[in-house]
Structure formats: C-alpha cells, structure tokens
Structure 1
C-alpha cells in the first residue's frame, strides 16, 4: 500500500513539473512599416485642394505645420480649439489612412 501511494505521488509530481512549460512559437512574424520621410514645408506651399478638404472635414481647424514626402502626400498638424491632431492627405485633398 505504501508503494502505491508513493507511486501516485511521484506520478502526480512529475506531471505538475511539465504543466508550467509554455510552448514557443517558431512561426512568429514581425511586420515593419517603412514610411517615407516627410520634409517640412511652409503652410503657404500646401495646395489649395488640401486646404479646402481640411476646412470641409474640420471646420475651424488651424493648420499649424505641414510636411510633404516624395509621393506628394501631406502630413498636416492641425489644431481645432484646444485639441491637436495629425492628418494625412494626398495632393488632391483625399484623406489617407496611415
């Protein structure tokens, strides 16, 4: 009877040691998004289509800073009241999701 109880303790003890092992996934993938570098431009250099789209989408918004990349995509730092935001537009005033 002692051997049976001792065997059960050893078996349960062995099983509990392996219960804490976490599987390691070898198929982990990392996604890296490379954005084009933006260059700061003056607010006056922003096309009229972009300014019109900005005033239509965000009435009363003030354009604080503007940046452009090689693809003629604009990064606009705006403020509406006491809130600040960054929005992206193409040269025709279409909004981009980045």
Structure 2
C-alpha cells in the first residue's frame, strides 16, 4: 500500500512540474523601449529668430531661461510663465510641437 501511495505521489509531482515548465516556456517576455531624445544646451543667442518670434507672440509674459536642441533641429525651451516654470518644444520654423 505504501508503494502505491508513493508511486502516485511521484507521478502527480512529475506531472505538475511538467505542466508548470510547459506553461513557462510558452510565455514571451515583452520589453518596451522608450526612446529618450538627447537635447544639448545652446546659448539663447543661437536660437533661431523664428522660434524667438513664436515665443514672443504666443507666450507674451514668458521669460526664456534655457534652450536646448536635438539632432532633428527641434528646440526644447525652459521658460517661466507668470512665475511658473514650464517647458515647450518647437521646430526650427517656430511651429510648436506637442511632446508626450
């Protein structure tokens, strides 16, 4: 009787191990890569006039604190608007870009 119980326990243990490993082998790991854009700081004088004009016309009370540019000629502007720090993005023609 002991042999029957022991054999049944070994078989059930083996089946559960097999089922668990088969389940684990069927899973695929999904990795999301978020591209982080690199901006390099530039002098405020190096900012294109179109971007300066767009900032002056669309954000009249804004003060430009820092400016950055990336390889695609997109500009990241750190500004202070009515005492609140904000970041806006523009292309080289002064068109605003919405970043998520």
Pick the structure with more helix per residue.
2
State TM-score, norm by structure 2.
0.65
Residue 40 of structure 1 corresponds to: 41
Note the aligned Cα RMSD (angstroms).
1.7
Q: Unaligned regions of 5+ residues in structure 2, if any?
A: 1-26
Give the 4+ runs in structure 1 shifted more than 6 A: none
Distance in 2 separating the partners of 1:77 and 1:64: 5
The DSSP-based 3-state class of the residue aligned with 1:72 is coil
5 Å-filtered alignment, 1:1-98, equals 31-98=32-99
Q: Unaligned regions of 5+ residues in structure 1, if any?
A: 1-25
State TM-score, norm by structure 1.
0.66
Distance in 2 separating the partners of 1:28 and 1:61: 46
